[in-house]
Amino acid sequence: MMQASNTRRFNSEKTNVDEGGPNLLHKIWALRATHWAEFLSTFTTTLACIVGGCQAGLLGGDDGFFATVAVVGSIVGFCMGISSGGYGNPVFTLGMAAAGRLSHKKVPSYLAMQFAGAFLAAAAGYEYYSPAVDVYEGGTGVRTVPGSAVFFTSIYVPDILPFGLISFPIINHIIIHSILVLVQSILTNAEPQAVPFLVAILPLYFFIPNVVCRLSMNPARDLAPCLVLHLAGYGSQVWTQGSVFYWPVTLIGVVAAGIMGTGRRVSDSIDLERDLENQSSRDIKTAT
């Protein structure tokens, strides 16, 4: 009897051990749909962009190669945020929630994890490249916004405000962000056979706004380096980067784009469903 009891206990322990591996992997895989996916998304995106900028600017690396690093990092970060529905970007999180495509209860935790991931990535990037910054600036502890700060931030405003036209970047933000949100909405709603094509165009899709236009594409990625640089001694100018309109332009543009882009996609879906219902009703009447 004791032997039978020991056998049952052994079998029970063996079952628990056997299930431990798959269960652990299942739990890890399940994180892709939680706020941790948002953390990893912004962490990857921010770190890749900082590495790309600093390797090319501070260490004299090849611009093309490290631009590729930044773009690939942005793609990986984007893919990490698909399953969670927040897309690793406060713009899309707020836009999806405003359009009713994401639960409002998830928004606070998603935003917190997005900014936390970006902040830790910015802090790690600055710590690693700090010795290179000393050499670039010409002295230990010397920190200037027109100098090394530009390699950590996503956009340097004096380069993007031609002739002082403050409305120009707002328009660009709205247009490009709307396109970005619409493409991401299409990607999430695409038929399986269309996914390979959409994945194939992702490099070009991320290259244009991030490298060519140099626009702010992610408020979490933008805010975190500025906060880290301010704490590191760059001063308050890092928040304006040469223009007091920097943050108003960024915030107004991205929020408007997020709501416009997701809302447009939802309205298109509603119109399509209504057309299908009307067509179905006409077919039924014709058949009768």
**165-180 per-position pLDDT tens digit:** 455 556 666 666 667 6
DSSP state of 208: I
What distances in angstroms separate CA 41 from CA 37, 46, 82, 94, one per listed residue? Answer: 6, 9, 9, 16
Given a contact cutoff of 8 angstroms between Cβ atoms, the answer to whether 246 and 110 are in contact is no
Given a contact cutoff of 8 angstroms between Cβ atoms, the answer to whether 233 and 134 are in contact is no
For residue range 243-286, list pLDDT tens digits in order.
666 667 666 766 676 677 666 554 444 444 444 445 555 555 55
In a domain, 22, yes or no: no
Residue 19 clears pLDDT 60, i.e. is over it = no
Identify the residue with better confidence: 201 or 145: 145
Residue 15 clears pLDDT 50, i.e. is over it = no
Given a contact cutoff of 8 angstroms between Cβ atoms, the answer to whether 161 and 248 are in contact is no
What pLDDT is recorded for position 184?
61
**Percentage of the chain lying above the pLDDT 90 cut:** 20
Q: Give helix 63-80 / helix 35-57 axis angle, nearest 10°.
A: 180
Other beta carbons within 10 angstroms of residue 93's beta carbon come to 25
Q: Which own/partner contact pairs does 267-272 have at CB distance under 8 Å and 24+ positions apart?
A: 269/189
Kindly state the tokens that stand for 209.
């706004």
Residue 187 clears pLDDT 80, i.e. is over it = no
Q: Domain count of the chain?
A: 1
Which of 37, 42, 32 minimizes the C-alpha distance to 115? 42
Given a contact cutoff of 8 angstroms between Cβ atoms, the answer to whether 219 and 210 are in contact is no
What pLDDT is recorded for position 99?
75
Give the range among 12-26, 129-143, 235-249 with minimum mean pLDDT. Answer: 12-26
In a domain, 149, yes or no: yes
pTM summary value: 0.74
Query: What is the Cβ-side half-sphere exposure of residue 246, based on CA atoms within 13 angstroms?
Result: 23
The one-letter code for the residue type at 197 is: F
In a domain, 251, yes or no: yes
Given a contact cutoff of 8 angstroms between Cβ atoms, the answer to whether 254 and 169 are in contact is no
Distance (Å, whole) CA 160 – CA 261: 23
Enumerate residues 6+ apart whose C-beta is below 8 A from 113.
Answer: 35, 36, 38, 39, 42
What pLDDT is recorded for position 271?
45
Distance (Å, whole) CA 72 – CA 89: 16
Residue 212 clears pLDDT 60, i.e. is over it = no
pLDDT category at 185 given cuts 50, 70, 90 is low
Distance (Å, whole) CA 276 – CA 282: 10
In a domain, 281, yes or no: no
Q: 193 is in which domain, residue-wise? A: 36-271
What pLDDT is recorded for position 268?
47
In a domain, 23, yes or no: no
What pLDDT is recorded for position 100?
79
Identify the residue with better confidence: 188 or 129: 129
pLDDT category at 98 given cuts 50, 70, 90 is confident
In a domain, 240, yes or no: yes
Other beta carbons within 10 angstroms of residue 238's beta carbon come to 23
In a domain, 282, yes or no: no
CATH code of the domain covering residue 82: 1.20.1080.10
Distance (Å, whole) CA 269 – CA 263: 10
In a domain, 190, yes or no: yes
Give the range among 53-57, 80-84, 117-121, 260-264 with minimum mean pLDDT. Answer: 260-264
Residue 231 clears pLDDT 80, i.e. is over it = yes
What pLDDT is recorded for position 278?
53
Residue 194 clears pLDDT 90, i.e. is over it = no
Other beta carbons within 10 angstroms of residue 186's beta carbon come to 13
What pLDDT is recorded for position 102?
82
What pLDDT is recorded for position 188?
56
